[in-house]
Structure formats: structure tokens, C-alpha cells
Amino acid sequence: MIVPLALAQFIASYAATNMNVAISTIAKDIGTTVIGMQTTITLFTLTMASLMIPGSKLTEIWGRKRCFVAGLAVYGTGALLAGLAHGLGLMIFGYSVLEGIGSALMIPPIYILVTVAFPDVRSRARNFGIISGAAGLGAAAGPLIGGIVTSSVSWRASFGLQVLVVVAIIVLAPRITDPGLRGPRPAFDIGGAILSAAGLFFVVLGILQSSSYGWFAARKDFSVAGTVIIPKGGVSPVWLSAGIGAVILAWFFLHVRSRERAGRPPLLPLRLFASRIANLGLGTQAAQWLALQGTFFIISVFLQEVRRFSAIETGLALTPATIGILASSALAERFAKRHPQRRLIQAGFLVTAIGMGLLLALVREHSNVLTLVPGLLLMGIGLGTMLTSSVNVVQSSFPEPDQGDISGLSRSISNLGSSLGTALAGSLLVAASAPGGKPFALSLVVLLVITLIGLVIAMLLPRGSTRTPAPSASGGPGAPDPATVTRAG
């Protein structure tokens, strides 16, 4: 059953990165601008991130497997329309809207199904390792595969490839074992869904705006419908957007508390935030994806802008990181047998930091491309090791009835980390590009500091859980046993 789930995670991660190498080509073919295509990619990220929590809640209403297949159908339809697009409107509708909605529906069930189907931490680690490897491979190989397909065939073929993979996953879907939902289906909290989606939308939008406007003083006028809201030199609109998002999210939490007090099911129960282990695990997830996406972005821009590498050459240069992620993910079960998840997360951050240090020490403007290999390989090994372990810690901290909620929250945090990584790297590159500056080194140093902060968070993970989550009402394979939770801690 793990094959269709891993393929779905791969194609979702692939979609998030492969477009970057074909922006100019697509813009020319459909009669738009590079800004138009960048907006399309941004909207995809916003849609996926803002709908991840509502999408996960639907797994408890529609069923996990049904929600997964529905997400695939929506995603595949979006990819087909995007591949047929001859204008920006259809491209946005297909890629940004439908693929974003499809991703929000199909990604949470992937992690829920693995958690409830594999009750012990070792088998769960093995299968989460495969899923994490697929995620890392999709993100890392997206530019390479997209570059090869775009150069040899057409950018439309890249979307066609996604459609074919989606069809293959749907054919394989009957292999997926779903224990099924127990008890009555909860009502869908429409108000909570709107508030959470809007809050996350504005927070992620603010993060993404940082590369254009900067983090502090606005680099240019910020206009809405032709009216200048913030003039150049004023406070960056990043904080305006993030502030609006924070207010809406605060409203969302008040809404959730009100529904819980009234005895009505909320979109996201507040008890999820009472687990110290889960909160620390979510913190490590955010740091991991921030480091992964930010570093890949910096190195890709460095190779293309400084070394003048093509899209295919850039993808090949990143191959050591891909190999490292796949190798460490494949060994996840063996690692879990020998070491606690806490120690694996700590080791992952440490190895990733060493890899970043090697990149800073060895790579120069005119150095041999082989100087990238040690640093990228270690980064890949470190990231692959801790991505699997962090997911295992978070998902294993809750019983089966909470798996839908924690999966959506976990994926939202990971998406926020990814968005912040790319935006932070981009804004640092722009800010440090003044004469005499060293933008790439500075950006990588900042990401190294964030990686070390992630290591500190991992050090705070307790050696054992302070409490064991109660099993599901019927017991069964979805209820983590005390040994599992203690081992995960």
C-alpha cells in the first residue's frame, strides 16, 4: 500500500519545484509575463498551505481513502487543464487552484493511513522513511526532471507526466488498507475552515512578499487596485499581511474555544497544542523544511546566476543531496530499531549543519563543481534522517481519533517552513546584493543558524513521553501503545 502513497507525495513535491525551470518558456507560450508565472506559483503555495487543515478534517467526514482518491482526481484535473492552457487564467485555475486543492485533500491522508496501518514505531519509521524520501526526491529532482522534459519535449509534457502518475496512483489505490472510521462522522466547522484558511493565507502571503518588498523597509511602493497603500521606504507590507493573518488566526482560536465550550466539534481541537512532544516535533519540522527549501533555492540560484549552469546542470549538481535523502530515508527502519527518534532528529540537525559548513568552506565562484558534493551529501543524509523521525514523533503522540487533525496541522507547519525558507533566502539574496556584499554566503549562514536553532529545539525533546495518549475507543491498530510513544519521545 505504500507505493501509491509515496507516489502521491512525490508528485505533490515535484509540482512545487519543477515549474521554476520553465517560467520564461511558459510565460512566452501563454502570452503572459514572468511576474504572472511567479504569481501562479505563489498562489499554488498559498492555496495548498491555507487549505491543509480543512482538507485533513474532511478525512474524518469522507473517509481517509476516499479523501485521498478525491484529492488525486482534483489534482489530476488541474494538471490536465494547466497542460492545455493558452492563457494565464486557465493556468491559474488548473495549477494554482485545482492542484492546490487536490494537494490539500490528498497529502494529509497519506500520513494518517501510514500511522493507523502500522502501529509499531519501527514499521512506521520504515514507511515514513519511504514517504519522506519521496517528498525529498520530488522536491530535489523537480528542477532536473522539469528541465529535461521542458528542453526535450515541452513544458506541457511535464503536466502530462503528472496526469499519468495520478492515473497510475488511482489504479493502485485499491491496495491501500484503511481500517475505516469509527463512530459518528463529525460536522464540518465551516466558520473555522474559513478563518483558518484566511489566516494562513495572509501569513504565507506576507512571507512570500518579503522577497519583493523586503522584511523591514519597503523596497518599492505597495499598491492595491492602483492605490499606493505603503510608499517606498515605509514599513514593509510583509508585516501588514502577517498582522492581518495573525488577527484572523487569533479569531480562529477564539472561535474554536467557543465551539468546544458549547459542545460542538471544532475544526481543530485545542488539545493538540497541549502535547509538549508534539509541539517540539512541529518546531523541528518547520526548521527542517525551512533549511531544505531555503538551501536548495540558494544553491540553485548560485549555480544558475554565478556559475551559469542550465536547468539540467543545476539539477544534476543537486543530485548528491537527493542521494543522501534517499539513502537515509531507506535506512529509517534500521535507525529506529537502534536509536530513539529524539536522538535521530538531533543527529540529523547536526549532520545537516556540518554539511552547510562544508559548503561555506569549500564552494567558491570558480571552484570545481565537485566541491559541492561533500556538503550536499551530508545535508541530504541529515535531512532524510530527521524528516522521517520528526513526522513519526508528531503522529505517534496522538491516538487514532486525532490523526486527521494532527496530520493537517503537521502538513501546514511544514508548508509554512517551506514558504519561509524560500522567501527568507530570496530576500536575503536581494538585500545582500549590494556592491561588496556576499549574498550567497550570508544567506547560507542565516540558514545554518536556523538549523542550529532546530538542533536546540530537538535537544529539548524529552527522553520519554510525560504521558501516554489514550487508545482509541475500540483499541485496534490505530492506537499507539505506551512503548511506541515512549520510543518516539
pLDDT tens readout for residues 329-386: 778 778 877 888 889 999 999 999 999 999 999 988 888 889 999 999 999 899 888 8
Q: pLDDT of 252-264, one tens digit each?
A: 999 999 999 988 8
Is the model's pLDDT at 428 over the cut of 90? no
Per-residue pLDDT at 289: 86
Q: What's the pTM?
A: 0.77
Instruction: With beta carbons less than 8 A apart as the criterion, state whether 68 and 7 touch.
Output: no
Residue 97 CB coordination number (10 Å): 18
Rounded mean pLDDT, 317-331: 83
Q: pLDDT of 191-250, one tens digit each?
A: 999 998 899 888 878 877 877 787 778 888 888 877 888 888 888 888 999 999 999 999
Q: Which long-range contacts (CB under 8 A, 24 or more apart) does 267-273 make?
A: 267/53, 267/54, 267/57, 267/188, 267/189, 267/192, 267/193, 267/196, 268/53, 268/57, 268/192, 268/196, 268/405, 268/408, 268/409, 269/402, 269/405, 271/402, 272/398, 272/402, 272/405, 272/406, 272/409
Per-residue pLDDT at 474: 32
Per-residue pLDDT at 220: 86
Per-residue pLDDT at 60: 81
**64 or 73, higher pLDDT:** 73
Please give the Cα distance from 341 to 286 (Å, whole number). 17
Short-list 179, 9, 41, CA closest to 108:
9
Most trustworthy range by pLDDT among 2-11, 54-63, 404-413: 2-11
Domain boundaries, the chain: 2-177+267-467+475-488, 189-266
Instruction: With beta carbons less than 8 A apart as the criterion, state whether 400 and 478 touch.
Output: yes
Strand partners, 217: 235
Per-residue pLDDT at 154: 86
Q: Looking at domain 2-177+267-467+475-488, does it have CATH number 1.20.1250.20?
A: yes
